[in-house]
Amino acid sequence: MGSKVYLIDHLNADELYQRYREEQDPIKRTHLQILWLLTSGRPAKVAAEMTGYSQRWISVLVGRYNEAGVDGLGDLRRFNPGSRPLLDAEQRERLDRALDDPPPDEVDPVSETEGVAG
């Protein structure tokens, strides 16, 4: 990331610094710190070294900030859709119906086992 980072002026350096110092969420706080460092004229490489983030991740963070402002910062994983369900709709319906039925008569697995010395 040798080129200069382009930031849209959602907030100036003083406003970013103030938000960074007041933020309670540790992830969002670090994101604000990175943006404050960048708007204060520090290169992305220095911001990466100071925060432990990679230069690649800083470029992603800058893109999120440019697109959504401060709302694009923080841990957004809670908005991830997750993986595909293991059962399709028909299979879930069949499972729900099966769970509505009473269980079959209890069978003692030990007495039903063949070839067990006893």
What digits encode the pLDDT tens for the residues 10-54? Answer: 999 999 999 999 999 999 999 999 999 999 999 999 999 999 999
Q: Is 89 part of any domain? A: no
Domain containing 29 equals 13-76
Q: Is 118 part of any domain? A: no
In the chain, the amino acid numbered 26 is P
Q: Is 28 part of any domain? A: yes
If one counts the domains in the chain, the total is 1
Q: Is 35 part of any domain? A: yes
Could you give the CA distance from residue 40 to residue 106 in angstroms, rounded to a whole number?
72
Residue 30 and residue 21 in contact, taking contact as beta carbons nearer than 8 Å: no
Q: What is the pLDDT of residues 93-110, one digit of tens each?
A: 999 988 888 777 766 666
Q: Is 64 part of any domain? A: yes
Q: Is 104 part of any domain? A: no
Q: Is 45 part of any domain? A: yes
Two tokens, residue 30? 């670090």
Q: Is 59 part of any domain? A: yes
Q: How confident is the model at residue 3 (pLDDT cuts 50, 70, 90)?
A: low
